[in-house]
A = this chain, B = another copy of it.
Amino acid sequence: MTPGEVSFILEATVSKTFWKQEKFAAGRGAPMGEVRLRDIAERLGVSVTTVSRALAGYNDVAPKTRQLVLRTAREMGYYPNLTARQLQRRRTDTIGLVVDVTGPRFSDPLFSELLAGVGNRAAREGFDLFVATMLPDTDDELQAYRRLVRGRRVDGIIVVRTRVADRRVQFLLEQQFPFITFGRSTITDHVSWVDVDGERGVQMVVERLIAAGHRHIAMLQPDLPLMFALLRERGYRRAMRAHGLPVKETWIVRRPLTEDGGYQGMQHLLRLRTPPTAVVAGNDQMAIGAIRALQDRGLRAGSDVAVVGFDDIPLARHVHPSLTTLRQPIYEIGQHLCRLLVAVLRREADGPRHLLLQPELIVRESARL
């Protein structure tokens, strides 16, 4: 919004005395660049095999030898070359995550929380995390997956925002590559997933809106074929039908899943002959946009039009009026995704695993329920 004032850039080597120079003990934390098993073996006059086994903790090494190897390895600062190990073991102990970063001002609050959940759990399970970013519009999305899968850079993949006919899911199935999705997809067999029950969540919200007297209830849906949108719409229709209320197709508006999208969508709804008195948005950003559109028309969310979001991002309780929303426990979802995928990788899982979490309705000011 702020006109982008060009910031002054200085690219140069700053003088050494520009600011206080603190000396670190150049310490004898030796450099010891490149210690291989072989180096230890040669030093000790044993074979590489023995060193390898001693370090791996096999029991067919003489205690005395093991001690010696262990000590020497520490002394020499040995650290295994993970790449070599991966090649030999034919696995990477790494989990892949492809995230479509939406341009410069991307900062999906859900994402960092998901990453935290996945990452922490992965570390706990002894797995590394590999993150590939890509602009979602660029069609080399599959390219990124191909790289991870075919290049054997990871052992398993987490797919994050499932779409209705998800090529990524299709690809991974074809490749018979281990993966788990956040969100269901149109294929459910042989696919592990974690999801939040948006269908039921929205159904419940709509029912509570109806109970509160609302009859004209609209949906601000994403303009992409996202799986969660499809399911939530089903919940919406079911609730309306259950109460004998007609669903006017013009009440279902599809816009980008952004604040601006919500703004546009709400504007559109307000221009209808019979504008809705309540709106369920695809996510909190859209809901916030909708609130803003109402304000610009002199209306107030909560009293004039009820607005419900989805996700409960940190911002939700800060906007005015604060946002009534369906909360998704993203951090926990991240942990579950990782946990279940690891179970599959370790073959602890007999078949695909499914985990359906219920969203929690957080009632605030934008919709009194």
Would A314 and B317 count as touching, CB distance under 8 A? no
Write out, one digit per residue, whether chain A residues 288-321 have a CB within 8 A of any chain B CB (1) or not (0).
1000000000000000000000000111011110
Say yes or no: is A7 at the interface (Cβ < 8 Å to chain B).
Answer: yes
Alpha-carbon separation in the docked complex, A355 to B331 (Å): 35
Closest chain B residue to A108, Cβ basis: B112
Say whether B134 contacts A19, CB under 8 Å: no
- Is A272's CB within 8 Å of the partner chain B? no
Give bound CA distance, A101 to B119, whole Å.
Answer: 9
Q: Is the Cβ of B357 less than 8 Å from the Cβ of A317?
A: no
* Interface mask (A325-352 → B, CB under 8 Å = 1, otherwise 0): 0010101100000000000000000011
User: Chain B: which residue is nearest A14 at the CB level?
Assistant: B354
B128 x A116 contact (CB < 8 A): no
The smallest C-beta distance from A328 to any residue of chain B, in angstroms, reads: 10
Q: Is the CB of B13 within 8 A of A352?
A: yes
Report the stretch among A49-57, A185-193, A206-214, A216-224 that lies at the interface.
A185-193
A5 to B312, CA, bound (A): 14
Contacting residues, chain B, for A105 (C-beta < 8 A): 113, 314, 331
Task: Pick from A92, A131, A359 the residue with the most CB of B within 10 Å.
Answer: A131
Beta-carbon contact of A79 and B24 below 8 Å: no
Copies in the complex: 2
A68-114 contacts to B (CB < 8 Å): 77, 79-84, 86-87, 92, 99, 101-113
B31 and A174 contact, CB distance less than 8 A: yes
Q: Complex formed: what's the CA distance from A174 to B288 in Å?
A: 49
B318 lies within 8 A of A315 (CB): yes
For chain A residues 1-51, which have a beta carbon within 8 Å of chain B? 1-2, 5, 7-14, 16, 18-22, 24, 27, 29-31, 33
- Write out the residue numbers on chain B whose beta carbons fall within 8 Å of the beta carbon of A2: 327, 360, 362
Q: Does A62 contact B (CB under 8 A)?
A: no
* CA distance in complex: A109, B313 (Å): 11
Q: How large is the interface on A (under 10, 10 to 19, 20 to 34, 35 or more residues)?
A: 35 or more
A90 CA / B127 CA spacing, docked (Å): 22
Interface contact B133-A132, CB-CB below 8 Å: no
Residues of B near A175 (CB, < 8 A) are 31, 33
Query: What separation, in Å, do the CA atoms of A39 and B319 have in the docked complex?
Result: 60
Contacts of A187 in B (CB 8 A): 21-22, 24
A165 CB-CB contact with B under 8 Å: yes
A135 to B: closest C-beta gap in Å: 7
Which residues of chain B come closer than 8 Å to A27, judged between CB atoms? 170, 174
Find chain B residues with CB under 8 A from A83 CB: 83, 86-87, 92, 152-153
- Judged by a CB distance under 8 angstroms, whether A120 is at the interface is yes
Candidate in A33, A174, A362 with the most chain B CB atoms within 10 angstroms: A174
Q: What 5 A-B pairs have minimum CB-CB distances, sorted nearest first?
A: A119-B133, A79-B150, A101-B116, A22-B186, A82-B151
A-B contact pairs, 26 of them (CB 8 A): A2-B362, A7-B360, A9-B355, A9-B356, A10-B355, A13-B352, A13-B353, A14-B354, A27-B170, A79-B150, A80-B151, A81-B151, A81-B152, A82-B151, A83-B86, A83-B92, A101-B119, A106-B113, A107-B314, A109-B112, A111-B112, A119-B131, A128-B130, A129-B130, A315-B315, A318-B318
